[in-house]
């Protein structure tokens, strides 16, 4: 049975991003209101294990880590694989993700993968048994909307500065579990390959244009002895002018 809360934390410049501590504070309040389930924290990227104790001091009971430099930068498929692995381990009732550049992209992907609902940019919440009633801004911030997710886990992105972090307690103890995520192929290499191929195609088009310009003077809409414009660019040929 799903219970407790999982926080997907973020690391920047070798330290926990501030929204992570804020979400841990919210997670602790949700878990306590639901009967005292575990507060889980997932950290991805180089140095994740060394930051586990800081997460425990901020309210986590259990920290899942993927200490891998391949996750230092946000790459959607890699982070999705890591987040889904953390969810599989923790089996939480609630998942909290920061409303950050990475979080805005990751949260809907994870919700789709887990076939559940998502509340975005939440400002506050009320716990109603197993369910959480999330409050988020709407109409450009002029009004508030309340959202209840009926599926499990309930996923929400949390706006920065909307939640109070707990007072750090360095005496708290907790456990750390490495995830050993099986990461998908390197998206950065795929993207780079596409960029290189596009540059090659662009360079080839430019070379064909140069050959066309050097082909000689126009005669009847064509350059003497040279190809038609469509031929040079690898597209359909237009009929010669003047016919």
- DSSP string for residues in 149-193: --SSSEEEEE-TTSSPPPPP-TT---EEEE------S-HHHHHHH
204 with 109, same domain: the answer is no
223 with 197, same domain: the answer is yes
Flag whether 238 is in a domain: no
Q: Which residue has the tokens 């309040």?
A: 29
155 with 197, same domain: the answer is no
pLDDT given for residue 243 in this prediction? 43
80 with 155, same domain: the answer is yes
Instruction: Compute the average pLDDT of residues 59-71.
Output: 96
**DSSP per residue over 61-75, as a string?**
SEEEEE--GGGSS--
Which token pair is 86? 């953390």
Cα distance between residue 50 and residue 35, in whole Å: 30
Domain total in the chain = 2
Q: How far is CA 192 from CA 93, 186, 195, 196, 197, in A?
A: 38, 10, 5, 6, 9
39 with 105, same domain: the answer is yes
Instruction: Compute the average pLDDT of residues 51-75.
Output: 96
Q: How confident is the model at residue 184 (pLDDT cuts 50, 70, 90)?
A: confident
pLDDT given for residue 191 in this prediction? 60
Contacts (Cβ under 8 Å, ≥6 apart) of 12: none
More confident site: 28 or 188: 28
130 with 216, same domain: the answer is no
17: three-class secondary structure by DSSP: coil
162 with 93, same domain: the answer is yes
Judged against a pLDDT cut of 60, whether residue 83 lies above it is answered with: yes
Q: How confident is the model at residue 198 (pLDDT cuts 50, 70, 90)?
A: confident
The dihedral sign for the CA sequence 79, 85, 86, 92: positive
Cα distance between residue 239 and residue 130, in whole Å: 73
Flag whether 118 is in a domain: yes
End-to-end CA separation in angstroms for the chain: 80
94 with 49, same domain: the answer is yes
Asked whether the whole model's pTM tops 0.85, one would answer no
What pLDDT digit, counting tens, does each position of 30-51 carry? 999 999 899 999 999 999 999 9
Cα distance between residue 187 and residue 125, in whole Å: 36
Flag whether 105 is in a domain: yes
Flag whether 18 is in a domain: yes
Q: Show the domain range for 133.
A: 5-184
219 with 147, same domain: the answer is no
170 with 217, same domain: the answer is no
């Amino acid at each position: 049975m799903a219970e407790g809360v999982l926080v997907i934390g973020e690391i920047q410049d070798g330290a926990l991003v501030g929204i992570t501590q804020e979400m841990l504070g919210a997670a602790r309040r949700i878990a306590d209101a639901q009967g005292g389930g575990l507060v889980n924290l997932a950290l991805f990227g180089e140095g994740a294990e060394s930051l586990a104790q800081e997460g425990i001091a901020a309210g986590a009971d259990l920290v899942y880590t993927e200490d891998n430099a391949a996750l230092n930068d946000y790459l959607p498929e890699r982070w999705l694989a890591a987040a889904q692995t953390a969810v599989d381990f923790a089996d939480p009732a609630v998942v909290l993700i920061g409303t950050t550049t990475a979080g805005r992209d990751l949260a809907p992907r994870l919700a789709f993968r887990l076939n559940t609902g998502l509340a975005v940019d939440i400002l506050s919440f009320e716990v109603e048994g197993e369910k959480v009633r999330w409050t988020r801004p709407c109409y450009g911030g002029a009004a508030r909307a309340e959202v209840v997710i009926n599926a499990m886990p309930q996923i929400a992105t949390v706006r920065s500065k909307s939640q109070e972090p707990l007072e750090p307690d360095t005496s708290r103890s907790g456990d750390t579990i490495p995830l050993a995520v099986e990461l998908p192929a390197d998206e950065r290499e795929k993207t780079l390959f596409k960029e290189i191929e596009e540059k090659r195609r662009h360079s080839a088009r430019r070379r064909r244009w140069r050959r066309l310009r050097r082909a000689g003077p126009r005669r009847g809409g064509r350059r003497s002895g040279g190809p038609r414009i469509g031929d040079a660019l690898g597209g359909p040929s237009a009929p010669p002018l003047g016919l």
